[in-house]
Amino acid sequence: MARATETRSDLPSRARQQRLDRAFNPRTVAVVGDKRAIGYLWLRSMSTFQGKVYSVQIDPDEIPGIEALGVPNYPSLLDIPDEVDYVVCAVPRQVSPRILADCIEKGVAAVTLFTSGFAETEREDGIRLQEQIGEMARSASGGGLLLIGPNCMGIYNRRLGLRNSWEQPAGDAGNVGFISQSGTHCINFSLVGDRQGIRCSKAVSFGNAVVLDAADYLEYMADDAETEVIGLYLEGVKDARRFFSVLRQATRRKPVVVWKGGVTEAGARAIYSHTAALATAPAVWDAAMRQAGAMQTESLDETIDAVKALVYCTPGTGYRMGLVAMTGGQSVVITDAFEREGLEAPLLTAASYEKLSGFFNIIGGSYRNPLDAGGTIGWGFLPQNLQKLLDVLDEDENVDAIAIEVSAGFLARRMRENPGILDALLDTLSAHRERSQKPFIAITHPGHLEDVTAMVRSRLLERNIPPFASFEAGAKALRRAIDHWRFREGLD
């Protein structure tokens, strides 16, 4: 099975990290082998880059198209009249050793090999070629060349506009780092995440990991001042013990969310032909993640949700919820959803019930916890009552965190009568969030009004209130975040 080639750069960790820093924050980038057939993917992605971009292409049919994009083209990396920090190489696989040799001679910090057709083909020639490029990179003079990939999309630095897809946002960078064995998941995290209020600081897709593996990038992101939360998509790690110890260190400094692909038997087969990584026994993997203090997720959505809770919530370490829904039916299922994740809905204190009895409308409602509060708060439009209710939960010592349903259906109906009412609701929720020391999340079901939901979601995010698409999603995300905050506090 061990057809993936030997891993790890031989560089000492410090030097490797300094070089990675240069690659993640380049001043000059060169793209080798971009072409019309892939829509000039790379040069178009680099159009937002704040530094200098060069192209290397020798095909006379491709050069005019490249120059039309306004990018200076050279026949070789060595001809570029500038120091080059980072290279993206998109040449056919048999040419890749030659480009690697040029990268080494040019003294670049790192090269991303977009090219595929290596060990993941499970064929002798691909495996041998992967061994060859790995050996070249490792044994390069000056401590080796950092090789990212092959079979990957490389580095995304949002602040610098260094992208690996032309749809990705540039500028207005955030604080979330993402490390992905898959290019698709890396790009989707940056795109879908952006719509969900998660802005990347940096991201990297690293494919077959022939020289640099997940642990190297994780070490870098754990140290990176621009990154406060880290997400990973992994298919396998080559030096599991090193990854485990790097992860154990990283989680003591920043929350780390790990999404592992290929956990089923058939999924593990798919992994091998994707990135040639070896599968791990799920029970051992789960144990290692829990032990290292990482949060585990099972999909892109779960990963984004967990990161969202970590980015937007005030940290808290208790599992007892104050749950607010708009109708009786929703009160029941919001409670089930949170209880299933081990987030209880306890009875409130006598003092709270005393206060609630003063204004709570029990006709068609109830307030034991969950609070069936639609009538009392006018389905979001009696802000004074909403504020009183949130104050009660905030002051209640039996409540550690609060979740509220923000119903797009009720909102859409009421906004027809009074369009300004959404602002009053948001002001109330936002004021609560500012005052309260307890984690606070909103649930906005997409339901049948997806456009209203999308609007409400982005308006909530503007006020730093994290919205989730279902009670289940909100409960799972909050549970993971609380587990992390407990871990950081040294609680079991």
Partner 1 sequence: MSIVDVIDRAKSEGRAVLTEIESKQILEEAGIPTASARLARTADEAVEAAAEFGYPVVLKIVSPDVTHKSDVGGVKLGLDSAEAVAAAFQEITKAVKRQQPDARIEGVAVQKMVRPGIEVIVGMSKDPQFGPVLMFGLGGVLVEVLKDVAFRIVPLEPRDVRQMIREIKGFPVLEGFRGQEPADLEALEKLLLKVSAFVEAHPEIEELDLNPVFAYKDGALAVDARIVVG
From the CB of 292, what's the least distance to partner 1, in Å?
A: 8
User: DSSP letter string over 411-437?
Assistant: HHHHHHH-TTHHHHHHHHHHHHHHH--
| Residue number, 351 or 491, with CB nearest to partner 1 | 491
Q: Can you tell me which of 241, 253, 368, 435 binds partner 1, judged by CB under 8 A?
A: 241
Tell me if 108 sits within 8 A of 86, measured CB to CB: yes
**Distance from C-alpha of 262 to C-alpha of 246, rounded to nearest angstrom:** 22
Burial class (CB in 10 A: 0-12, 13-18, 19+), 287: exposed
The Cα 374–Cα 32 span in angstroms is 60
**Can you say how many angstroms the Cα of residue 336 is from the centroid of all Cα atoms in its chain?**
28
**Least distance between partner 1 and beta carbon 289 (Å):** 10
Give the CA dihedral 335, 341, 347, 348, nearest 10 degrees. -100
* One of 253, 290, 435, 448 touching partner 1 (CB under 8 A): 290
Is there binding between residue 263 and partner 1 (CB under 8 A)?
no
Q: What are phi and psi of 302, to 5 degrees?
A: -60, -35
Whether the CB-CB separation of 271 and 245 falls below 8 Å is answered with: no
Question: Could you give the dihedral angle defined by the CA atoms of residues 200, 201, 204 and 205, in that order, rounded to the nearest 10 degrees?
Answer: 0
Asked if 287 is part of the footprint of partner 1 (rule: CB under 8 A), the reply reads yes
Q: Which of 288, 311, 345, 465 binds partner 1 (CB under 8 A)?
A: 288
Q: Which of residues 359-378 bind partner 1 (CB under 8 A)?
A: none
What are φ and ψ of residue 360, in 5° steps? -75, 135
Q: With binding defined as CB under 8 A, does residue 265 bind partner 1?
A: no
115 binds partner 1, rule: CB under 8 A: no
Q: Would you count residue 295 as binding partner 1 (CB under 8 A)?
A: no
Under rule CB under 8 A, residue 280 binds partner 1: yes
Of 266 and 281, CB closest to partner 1: 281
Nearer to partner 1, 111 or 247 (CB): 247
User: What letter represents residue 194's amino acid?
Assistant: D
Q: Interface with partner 1 includes 278 (CB under 8 A)?
A: yes
Please tell me whether residue 281 binds partner 1 under the rule CB under 8 A.
yes
> By C-alpha distance, which of 428, 429, 438, 434 is closest to 481?
438
Output the smallest distance, CB 12 to partner 1, in A: 23
Residue 280 vs 335, nearer CB to partner 1 = 280
Does 393 engage in binding with partner 1 (CB under 8 A)? no
Q: Which of 63, 95, 191, 240 binds partner 1 (CB under 8 A)?
A: 240
User: How many residues touch partner 1 (CB under 8 A)?
Assistant: 16
Candidates 50, 94, 291, 299; binder of partner 1 (CB under 8 A) is 291
Residues that bind partner 1 (CB under 8 A): 237, 240-241, 244, 278, 280-281, 283-284, 286-288, 290-291, 490, 492
